[in-house]
Structure 1
């Protein structure tokens, strides 16, 4: 799709990667609805602040009504509770699934008829290297990201006849608040990630592997598990 003159909705646009997406979309000529649970947190010049809590069905429905001219949806909103599956707080594990899986599903379902009515469009789903790599200490997050990966693949197949593409972004650690405890030399600039992802959306590519770690893990999926 041509991002110039497109109309984009970016969830979780108040900080981190979401803010970089909104900035770059505006720079490329798009109209941008910068969505956040608290729209007062949006201070990006040129963006239209939009209240959107992906875990609240009413909020999602209202956002789809307001942004009825959308042609691109960036499913970026996320959470990272650090809960493991055996001993972690179940409410935190549920939050991971509600945000990454059910939240992305709710937004995708709400905006699918909008994109179709506007002549087609695209989804960009922000996934993770942890869609495929599942350390036990981060089980709540990785299970939710694995589910979101499956969701993205299934929706890509279902939406293609409607002229709607689904691009999945897989990336390791970025220099954002969520990865504040990770050494700087292991993190990638979120502005670079946003640029790579938006280029891929314009090209209609189904998947982006944004860094060396992600590419290595993807290759390793073909290797049998060792005891």
Structure 2
């Protein structure tokens, strides 16, 4: 799939990784970019190829309306997300459900709405921004890790279901990017532009999985080993 001439729709395009996807798509010659957000009026748009749209992953009507308005889409980028920081054992279940409703069911709603659009336009591609936390959990990431693990296998299942219509389904994994969601967290962070670049390079190469950074590559390679390397506490801790 060639990015030049493509027509893309990005969820969560107002900031962070989503905003850099907009920039990268324009640089690579996309014909049109639908930039979606819960508050599209706040989008900073300076290119006539960018069309703002309202889309909220928890509002199914907004997803249906976006799909009706963007019948020419050939590339769907599911980037929008949240991180409640909820603890699985002690926090409110409704808070935990917010992570799952957003990352699993919200993203799936968008894919279901746009799958017929992509099919009608020759197949195209779906990109899901996942996480290294699709594979492991760390302290303070319980609800988010569960949601991303579910979204990862949803991505794999959707890939099989959309194969007959020639739709590429790509999962993108990274540890941490320098975005508002990660603000204040003491961890190495990559530039969000690097995520967009790596993903779009992968789309052009028809890669079904993109590991953006070293932590993602390390964890993926280590999954066949003893999980104690991730979860054992040092003696005395």
Q: TM-score, normalised by structure 1?
A: 0.97
Match of residue 191 from structure 1: 193
For residues 143-186 of structure 1, the C-alpha deviation after alignment (integer angstroms, 9 at most, x for no partner) is 000000000001111111101010100001111111112347x1
**Secondary structure in 2 matching 1:35:** strand
2:139, 2:191 → 1: CA distance?
26
1:220 to 179, 200, 222: 222
**Secondary structure in 2 matching 1:137:** coil
Match of residue 149 from structure 1: 152
**CA deviation after TM superposition for structure 1 residue 89, in Å:** 2.5
RMSD: 1.1
**Secondary structure in 1 matching 2:33:** strand
**Secondary structure in 2 matching 1:13:** coil
**Secondary structure in 1 matching 2:140:** helix
Match of residue 105 from structure 1: 108
Paired residues, number = 226
Which range is displaced more, 74-83 or 41-50? 41-50
For residues 102-125 of structure 1, the C-alpha deviation after alignment (integer angstroms, 9 at most, x for no partner) is 011000000000000011100000
Kept in 2, the 8 Å contact 1:85–1:136? The answer is no
Kept in 2, the 8 Å contact 1:129–1:217? The answer is yes
1:44, 1:217 → 2: CA distance?
37
2:91, 2:206 → 1: CA distance?
39
For residues 18-57 of structure 1, the C-alpha deviation after alignment (integer angstroms, 9 at most, x for no partner) is 0000111111111100000111011122211010001111
**Pair 1:120 & 2:123 matched:** yes
**Secondary structure in 2 matching 1:152:** helix
Kept in 2, the 8 Å contact 1:13–1:19? The answer is yes
Match of residue 37 from structure 1: 38
2:46, 2:90 → 1: CA distance?
43
Instruction: Extract unaligned runs of 5+ from structure 2.
Output: 233-237
**CA deviation after TM superposition for structure 1 residue 135, in Å:** 2.0
Match of residue 206 from structure 1: 208
Match of residue 235 from structure 2: none
Match of residue 17 from structure 1: 17
1:174 to 156, 172, 177: 177
1:179, 1:93 → 2: CA distance?
19
**CA deviation after TM superposition for structure 1 residue 193, in Å:** 1.4
**CA deviation after TM superposition for structure 1 residue 224, in Å:** 3.0
1:25, 1:44 → 2: CA distance?
14
1:225, 1:52 → 2: CA distance?
39
